[in-house]
Structure 1
Amino acid sequence: MTTAELYDRYGKPYEVRVSRVDGKAPEPHAPPYAIYPMTPSLPAHKAFDPEIVISDYGASFVASQTPSPTLYTPALYAPPEGFFADPITPAADIWTLGVNLYEVLGKRSLFDIWARDKYDIIAEMVNTLGVLPARWWDSWANDGESFEPNGERLSDFRRTGTPPFRRLHQRLWDMGRGETPETCQWNIAGGELQALENFLRGMIAFEPIDRLTAEQLMASEYMIKWALPAWERQMRRKEGLKIR
């Protein structure tokens, strides 16, 4: 798509000058102007070469220089250690990436909550992944109100907007890509769905030390057998090559 075709389809960029409070020129520390993000309203299947890019989690830091930084990640995507005042490490990004990945693939949030308060989010973590580590479980203000000691939701629990009891495995089936082996878009027989579940579990383990590193994720079965080949096909398609 040429620049002219892009502008014809979505309109020209809307520029806004960047100014400093002290009146000095913003450059070289900032661009001279900013551009409002494009918000096209069209079905995904009509988008031209759509690509999903995760660009920012709201803050960044050098791990070696900031032992336990303050997180500004939206609560729905924040790791559990952020709720319990545990040290923040690079593993926090792995959790956030995993939650985002589920949302991208499933077209819905991993944690199905009505009100985004701390209690509801932690409850949905338990609802999805099971019992919290003991040091968190004992300090959490659950007090047997909504969960059994084994992490299963009490059958008679009632609260506004209470989501159904669903573990991660069921949430993968609920992504809307077919709810039986015959209709599912994942390759069930070939192990794609199980590989994806293992991949996500490696990212959203409660204990930061148990989460996979970026290197381990790239070397995982799901990446090697499913994700990377799909990405390579997409790149080749963009280059105009015919593949089967």
Structure 2
Amino acid sequence: MSTIVAQDLEQFPCVELVNYYCPGGFHPVHLNDTFKNGRYRVVNKLGYGTYGTVWLVYDTILKQYSSLKILAAEVSDSHSEIAVIPHLQQHATGSGKEYVVEVFDVFQHTGPNGLHHCVVMEVLGPPISSDIEEIYPNEVFPIEVAKRISAQIAHGLAYIHTAGIVHGDLHMSNVLFHSPIISSWTSDNDFEKYLGSPTQGPLTLRGSDELAAPSPHIPSYLVFVNHPYFLLKLCLSDPTQIHVKICDFGEAFIPTMQLTSLPSRVIPIFYAAPEVIFGDPTGLPADIWALAVLIRYITSGVFLFSSLHGIPEEVIKSMVLTLGKLPERWWSRWEERSEWFNEGGEWWEDGVKIFPKSNGSRGKPKGGRGEMAKLNKIIKRMVRYDPEERVSIDEVIEWMNQNGWFVN
């Protein structure tokens, strides 16, 4: 089989893995395609991930724009998102709902590559991992903005935890900005002001200029994801009104609920709690660990546990330098420990440093030493090695309230 590629990838780099347009893979989508008996009309592309593509659609019944996520066929039956979303809607209680993406509809669609689960959600803005240099030149959120974003994420996570759900993949790319203006769009011209017109490109055979042969398994053309600058600028236009929402429940699970299969636990290694890295059973405390890393990054632009190459061994090393020796159940299983530490958990050359400072302006906290010292105290309680000893999300929010970290 010939390999297909997107033409002019340097010009249009934002495109999914096109080789996954095959039986069991992505569903081929074209502009103006409709789903669920004509209810949802495809208007533009919003994004993509490992297991699906995301499209801007117009709901012809509710007369509103929505986001349509179409999962790859081979993961649709086992994808935890389909089981978790109804459970969240039925069992989550209390405040914080406004900081979690709203889901409108879940349905199935049969295409040339198989049966696909589809999730219809509200339209959100870019992720908080977006390049903010044009808006904040030092590439770090101002401390008051960082505090507001962090508090909103915490309240959203608290809402999720009331349903006994572990999000399992809490990181910068799974928290998206929101603007009420998006909800007011009534025509295609409205969204084009911020998203631009749909950008299309052909598929060609790798290594040649020959177009890929027509096939029901691949789209006739690709739709690229436009740069989100104008939408990002809209969402950040008023620092006092910044609003974020947690999204993507693809790795979420309910420890007390038997799913078809367990989530793959592919959270980025920088955010992974030690029980996740070592493959032990996980629960709500794993989200608390990820939240600590997330808050630290939002407030400083630096990961709590560093790694030059983004590999588990380096992240674990950073954990030990920061928090001390791992519990024996993990220490004895970490084969690379002798490269850096003696059996007492001591660094061969330097002493252990708690929360070492980072070099460069990007790593300098913007909130003042006193405020960051307070933050470090709660973070240390959030990243205790023993999951049972970590603070709960309610305790994190209580600390935030006491220290002026409010959602508004």
Distance 1:52 1:126 in 2: 35
Q: Does 1:55 align with 2:246?
A: yes
Aligned to 1:11: none
Q: Does 1:43 align with 2:140?
A: no
Q: Please give the secondary structure, in 2, of the residue aligned with 1:167.
A: coil
**1:169-184 alignment to 2 at 5 Å?**
170-171=356-357, 175-177=363-365
Following superposition, the deviation at residue 165 of structure 1 comes to 6.1
Structural RMSD (CA): 3.8
Q: Does 1:103 align with 2:301?
A: no
Following superposition, the deviation at residue 114 of structure 1 comes to 1.1
Following superposition, the deviation at residue 102 of structure 1 comes to 0.5
Identity %: 23
The 3 A distance-change label for structure 1 pair 35 and 132 is closer
**Structure 2 letter corresponding to 1:88:** T
Distance 2:302 2:314 in 1: 17
Comparing both structures, which one devotes a greater share of its residues to strand? 2
Distance 1:30 1:202 in 2: 36
Aligned to 2:320: 126
TM-score (norm 2): 0.41
Distance 1:110 1:52 in 2: 24
Aligned to 1:64: 256
Distance 1:32 1:92 in 2: 26
TM-score (norm 1): 0.65
Distance 2:305 2:381 in 1: 17
**Structure 1 letter corresponding to 2:44:** E
Q: Does 1:92 align with 2:286?
A: yes
The CA deviation string for residues 23-75 of structure 1, in whole angstroms up to 9 with x for no partner, is 7xx9x953499888486762227841243636246521223215975412111
Q: Which runs of 5+ in 2 are unaligned?
A: 1-42, 46-54, 56-67, 71-108, 138-232
Following superposition, the deviation at residue 213 of structure 1 comes to 0.7
Distance 1:149 1:223 in 2: 41
Distance 1:120 1:147 in 2: 12
Contact 2:299 2:365 in 1 (8 A): no
The counterpart of 1:167, out of the listed 354, 359, 372, is 354
Following superposition, the deviation at residue 154 of structure 1 comes to 1.5
Distance 1:225 1:34 in 2: 32
Contact 2:292 2:382 in 1 (8 A): yes
**Structure 2 letter corresponding to 1:200:** I
The counterpart of 2:377, out of the listed 179, 198, 207, is 198
Distance 2:334 2:131 in 1: 43
**1:71-86 alignment to 2 at 5 Å?**
71-86=265-280
Q: Please give the secondary structure, in 2, of the residue aligned with 1:142.
A: helix
The 3 A distance-change label for structure 1 pair 104 and 30 is same
Q: Which runs of 5+ in 1 are unaligned?
A: 1-13, 157-163, 179-184, 236-244
Distance 2:243 2:349 in 1: 39
The 3 A distance-change label for structure 1 pair 110 and 31 is same
Distance 2:121 2:373 in 1: 49
Aligned to 1:218: 397
Contact 2:326 2:385 in 1 (8 A): yes
The counterpart of 2:119, out of the listed 5, 10, 30, is 30
Distance 2:244 2:405 in 1: 15
**Structure 2 letter corresponding to 1:225:** N
Following superposition, the deviation at residue 21 of structure 1 comes to 4.7
The 3 A distance-change label for structure 1 pair 35 and 218 is closer
Distance 2:275 2:324 in 1: 15
Return the structure number with greater relative CO, CA threshold 8 A, min gap 6.
Answer: 2
The 3 A distance-change label for structure 1 pair 223 and 142 is farther
Aligned to 2:44: 15
Distance 1:125 1:32 in 2: 37
